[in-house]
Each structure stands twice: as C-alpha cells, then as structure tokens.
Amino acid sequence: MKGDKVKISDIAKELEVSTISVSRALAGQSGVGDELRNRIISKAKEMGYFKAKNNEDIKILVLHQKPFVQDTSNYSQMVQGIERSIQTKKCEYDLEFVDKEHQDQLYLPNKIQKGINFDGIIFIGRFNSDYVKFISSRIKNQVFYTGYSPSFDCDSVWYNFNNGGYKQCECLIKNGHREIGFIGGCSVYKNKEKVLGITSALEDYNLPIRDEFFIYEENFEERVAKLISSNNGPTAIICQWDYTAIKLIKCLHEKGIKVPEDISIVGSGNTEISSLSIPALTTLELNIDYACEMAVELLLKRINKPDKPYENITINSILIERDSVKNCMK
C-alpha cells in the first residue's frame, strides 16, 4: 500500500481494532493502553502513514514555570523568543504558566482539559520529572528549552555554560588575574558546568584553583568582603548571573571596595541592567533569540520525524567586555 494512500481505517483493519483507538493513539490522547498504542504507532510507521505536516496545521503547547514578577534574568526574553519563533513558523500555539505546586499536583494544562490536542510541547525551564512523564502521556513530541538534565533522554536546547565559564575565566587571565573565584548556587546544574569551564581554564594556564574562592551561598556578601579585605582574596569573581554581579558590586561599594580597582566582577546573561550598572558589566551574551529558533525547529523536526534520534543542541555564548574588569598588566 502506498504511503500517500494510507488511512486510519487501513491501520485499524490491519490490527483489527477500532478507528477511534487508532486515532487516539496517533494523536497522543488518553483512552488507549501503552501496549496497544505502541502496536498502532509501529504499524503506522510500517505502512508509511506518517507524513510531514504543514506548519499551519501544527499546534504547539508552551509551558513555563517561572513568574515574570521582578524578573531579573532573561526569562521573559526566553518566553517571548519562543512565542516569536513559533509565530514566524506560522504554527498555532498556546502558552501556559504551571508553578511548582501545580506540577506536584499533576495539574493538566487548561487547554488539554478543554479537549484541545497538541502536536508537540516546549518546556521552558526545569520541570518536575514526574510532571513531565504525566504530560508525555498526552503529548509525545517534546523539547526542553533551558531545562536540560543529563538524566533526560529527549530533545533539548541548552546553553554551553562550560564554554561560557572558560571564556569568562580566560578573559580574566589575559587581563593579568591569577586569583579567580565564582559565586552561584551549587545545586543548579548550569553552575556545575560553568565551574567546570572555569577550573579547566585555570588548569590550562597552570593557575591554582582556590576552593575557598568558590562560594555557593545565597548570602555571599559578607564572606566576599572578608576575603577581599584579608589581602589574600580573589582579584576577580565570576558570578552566576548579571543580577548576582550587580548585587555584589552594590555590597562592595557600601563597604568602600571599588570595582574594578580593588576587584573585577564578571556577570552572565547580558541583561539590560548590565550595561546600565556602574561600572558597566563584563558579561556573556547567551544568543537567546537564536536558541529559541533552534528549540522550535527541533520540535517541528520531531513532529515530522517521530522516530529520529534525540538531539541536544548547545548554544555558545559571546563575551561582552565592559568596564568591570581591570587590566592588571598595565
């Protein structure tokens, strides 16, 4: 049977099941057991049923799990970038916020509750793994944007924080810094990657890795101030985000410690405030718009090729050099 003539009724006849069961299985809807669903999908592939969809016929659900209130990161830019990329592709979509509490409760997104079927889903941010499994029973085609974890076997788009950390550290080294530290949460996976990049650069340049200069605390201000005042502290600190860096600069200013004269500070994210701070912040441009385009394209590829291997796309950043780093070699 030619692929362009295969119908749902043909698949149903081959398997001796109802057309409703076949339709639900292929749409990722509930009401079909996993064993039967797998048989139906396998038979559909064998018979050549799957065809590339026109973008206008594709419906995408976008879930995000962080409110925009007092957004000091690039999160809102990421959400808007995903929306803009979907609109460019002329797909239909719905956007919904699902907080941690609703994830724990296995809340079903509003549009799915109303019976709307989606061809794919983009998760923005790190979602509860049980919730992801719950949603995957409804929507099979998934892409994780910024919510990457090595435990996930799925399509994902992620920022190359390992490379970014290396770039930040190498910039400081080339400006004459030898005692370099880091501030950021230890439980966040991206920070583990960033620290790997920083320590790799230090090792490549045969410089010491001072564990006491790597601070994994939310209330870091007093500890940093004491390190700097001890005359045996870091000459430069790489921060998790621009907000962290600017918070640190403010704290040091209040204690009479000048940036970059007494210590150099580097941020990450190239947020709007990074260029407005005093001094203007050296930081990483994450290439968010491009990453959003890749996330949408990756989902469309998955929808049209459901049996392709999983892909993890990592986007490199660009170092933006401003005034918060002192050249110690002059």
- Scored b (16 or more CB within 10 A) or e, 100-111 reads eebbeeebebeb
Both structure tokens of 144: 């994780």
Q: Is residue 330 part of a domain?
A: no
Say whether both 223 and 236 belong to one domain.
yes
Both structure tokens of 25: 């299985």
- Distance CA(30)–CA(68), nearest Å, equals 32
Residue 102 CB contacts under 8 Å (≥ 6 apart), including other chains: none
Say whether both 282 and 300 belong to one domain.
no
Instruction: Write down the pLDDT at residue 71.
Output: 58
- Distance CA(39)–CA(51), nearest Å, equals 18
Q: Summarize the confidence of residues 304-317 as an average pLDDT.
A: 92
Say whether both 217 and 251 belong to one domain.
yes
Which H/E stretch holds residue 227? Answer: helix 221-229
Say whether both 153 and 76 belong to one domain.
yes
Q: Is residue 321 part of a domain?
A: no
- Distance CA(239)–CA(255), nearest Å, equals 19
Inter-residue contact 34 to 52 (CB < 8 Å) = no
pLDDT tens-digit readout, 35-75: 898 898 888 888 888 666 788 889 999 999 877 655 566 88
In 3D, which of 134, 53, 90, 99 has the Cα closest to residue 296?
A: 90
187 backbone dihedrals φ, ψ, rounded to 5°: -90, -10
Say whether both 135 and 91 belong to one domain.
yes
Both structure tokens of 58: 């594709």
pLDDT tens-digit readout, 154-195: 999 999 999 999 999 999 999 999 999 999 987 778 899 999
Say whether both 82 and 150 belong to one domain.
yes
pLDDT tens-digit readout, 205-230: 999 999 999 999 878 888 888 888 78
CATH number of the domain that 13 lies in? 1.10.260.40
Q: Is residue 112 part of a domain?
A: yes
Instruction: Write down the pLDDT at residue 168.
Output: 98
pLDDT tens-digit readout, 129-150: 899 999 998 898 999 999 887 8
Instruction: Write down the pLDDT at residue 2.
Output: 45
Instruction: Write down the pLDDT at residue 204.
Output: 98
Q: Is residue 244 part of a domain?
A: yes
Average pLDDT, the chain: 90
Say whether both 156 and 299 belong to one domain.
yes
- Distance CA(258)–CA(279), nearest Å, equals 10
Say whether both 293 and 236 belong to one domain.
no
Instruction: Write down the pLDDT at residue 266.
Output: 98
Q: Is residue 323 part of a domain?
A: no
Say whether both 237 and 282 belong to one domain.
yes
Instruction: Write down the pLDDT at residue 103.
Output: 95
Confidence of residue 1 (pLDDT cuts 50, 70, 90): very low
Instruction: Write down the pLDDT at residue 70.
Output: 52
Both structure tokens of 291: 């990453």
Q: Is residue 243 part of a domain?
A: yes
Domain count, the chain: 3
Q: Summarize the confidence of residues 258-264 as an average pLDDT.
A: 95
- Distance CA(266)–CA(276), nearest Å, equals 14
Q: Summarize the confidence of residues 115-133 as an average pLDDT.
A: 93
CATH number of the domain that 188 lies in? 3.40.50.2300
Which amino acid appears at position 160 of this protein? N
Say whether both 32 and 146 belong to one domain.
no
pLDDT tens-digit readout, 93-116: 999 999 999 999 999 999 999 989
Instruction: Write down the pLDDT at residue 134.
Output: 94
- Unique residue bearing structure tokens 């150099």: 264
- Distance CA(290)–CA(309), nearest Å, equals 22
Is the backbone peptide bond immediately before 260 cis, with ω within 30 degrees of 0? yes
Q: Is residue 326 part of a domain?
A: no
Question: What share of the chain in percent tops pLDDT 70?
Answer: 96
Instruction: Write down the pLDDT at residue 135.
Output: 94
Say whether both 16 and 156 belong to one domain.
no
- 35-52-146 Cα angle (round to 5): 75
Q: Which residues span the domain enclosing 302?
A: 55-160+288-316
- Distance CA(209)–CA(211), nearest Å, equals 6
Q: Is residue 327 part of a domain?
A: no
Say whether both 184 and 136 belong to one domain.
no
Query: 149 or 13: which carries more pLDDT confidence?
Result: 13
